[in-house]
Amino acid sequence: MDTADKNDSTQYSPQMLQGKRSISVYEVPGNLTPSFEGLKDYDWGRLQEHYANAMEKHGTAEEDLRAQISKLLEVFMAWSQTTVVRDEARALKRFKTQMQHVQNSEEDLEKKRKHYVNVVKAFESALALLNDRVRP
């Protein structure tokens, strides 16, 4: 290998590098910027094409964002619905427990009432027996 092959890495000047860099969507290339003298001869079709391309890129990016947001909303709705269903299930269980407690309390009160009614009847019977013994 000779020294010419080793130093084959070409030295680029800033002007050469500037021609190779990519154009951002937000930049207008220098050759698309009109001057006052060249307005009549300006390539308006190329500017329009550049604008259409930039808008298409933005539209594609916007559609991608909409698709991502839509997917995230689906996940959020599923999560939200799961939470609602779980809360409804817990509320139903709590309601059933309260109903059972009320029913048990009512049954206990009815048993106590019957017991007290029987106690009162027993006292009345005892008093009647005592009254019958005292009268002879």
Residue-level pLDDT, tens digit, the chain, 136 residues: 444 444 444 444 445 444 544 555 556 555 656 566 777 777 888 989 999 999 999 999 999 999 999 999 999 999 888 888 899 999 999 999 999 999 999 999 999 999 999 999 999 999 998 888 866 5
Q: CB–CB of 60/39 below 8 Å?
A: no
Confidence (pLDDT) at 25: 52
33-to-14, 58, 76, 91, 122 alpha-carbon distances in Å: 21, 21, 47, 68, 114
Instruction: Give rounded-to-5 percent helix, strand, coil for the chain.
Output: 75, 0, 25
Supply the pTM of this predicted model.
0.41
CA 36 to centroid of chain Cα atoms: 53
